[in-house]
Amino acid sequence: MVCALMSPMVTQTSNMDLTYTLERYDTDTDADNYIRKYRNVDYFLQFCRQCRNYGRRYGCPPFQDDPLATISKYASVRIIGVKIIPNDKSLPLDAANELMEPVTRELNEELLRMEESLHGAAFGFVGSCPYCGGAPCARIKGKPCRHPGKVRPSLEAIGFDMGRAASELLGLDIKWSKGDFIPEYLTLVCGIFY
């Protein structure tokens, strides 16, 4: 596992201090062992089905193609975790997306570059598309994805336990809010099979 401090990002919106520091964690592991140990589609798909985005976003299940058919052809997987540590410890929970958006966009772009250079399959982040500028996903209206070369599902969306993988492989525990404020840090975890 490698941990590195990244350059702090600074974003000022309204009266909130949205400055933060990033810590990055990376590890490479055997793909077959990773799939066997951390994938439980039936368990995690039940949570996806409860989400309002299920079947409404191209990064969310159900998928046309079987993700296992895609990932099982690769020998290795690189898991990347980022800890976003806000300078303001009293930010409201609704500021979380504003803190994560630039980091999510940067990591997605990095994953796409890695996908090309490693000839692999990247898995980014689910939720609001960082490429559509807040517009509703075209999948809602049965239209093709506006950015098919960029949108990737998350590892969670194809059945991986990212909390356990982050903890065991990266030494990075995911924190959850205990009320109206964001936790001490936010966590993003993504990966690429290659």
Q: Which residue has the tokens 């090309």?
A: 116
**pLDDT by residue (tens digit) across 58-67?**
999 999 899 9
Tokens of 81: 């975790």
Q: How far apart are CA 92 and CA 90, in angstroms?
A: 6
Contacts with 12 (C-beta within 8 Å, 6 or more apart), sequence order: 18, 19
Task: Identify the pLDDT of residue 12.
Answer: 47
Compute the mean pLDDT over every residue in the chain, rounded to the nearest whole number.
Answer: 90
How far from each other are the two terminal CA atoms of the chain, in whole angstroms?
Answer: 18
Peptide bond into 62 cis (omega under 30): yes
Q: How far apart are CA 24 and CA 176, in angstroms?
A: 19
Q: How far apart are CA 154 and CA 146, in angstroms?
A: 18
Task: Identify the pLDDT of residue 13.
Answer: 47
Residue with the bigger pLDDT between 122 and 6: it is: 122
Q: Are 177 and 93 in contact (CB under 8 A)?
A: yes
**pLDDT by residue (tens digit) across 160-192?**
999 999 999 999 999 999 889 999 999 999 999
**pLDDT by residue (tens digit) across 33-48?**
999 999 999 999 999 9
**pLDDT by residue (tens digit) across 2-35?**
555 554 444 444 578 999 999 999 999 999 999 9
Task: Identify the pLDDT of residue 8.
Answer: 47
What's 30's DSSP letter?
E
Task: Identify the pLDDT of residue 133.
Answer: 77
How is the chain split into domains, by residue range? 2-193
Strand partners, 12: 17
Q: How far apart are CA 41 and CA 79, in angstroms?
A: 18
Q: What is the pTM of this model?
A: 0.88
Contacts with 159 (C-beta within 8 Å, 6 or more apart), sequence order: 39, 40, 41, 42, 43, 44, 45, 67
Q: How far apart are CA 188 and CA 193, in angstroms?
A: 17
- Can you give 61-122 as a three-state secondary structure string? CCCCCCHHHHHCCCCEEEEEEEEEEECCCCCEHHHHHHHHHHHHHHHHHHHHHHHHHHCCEE
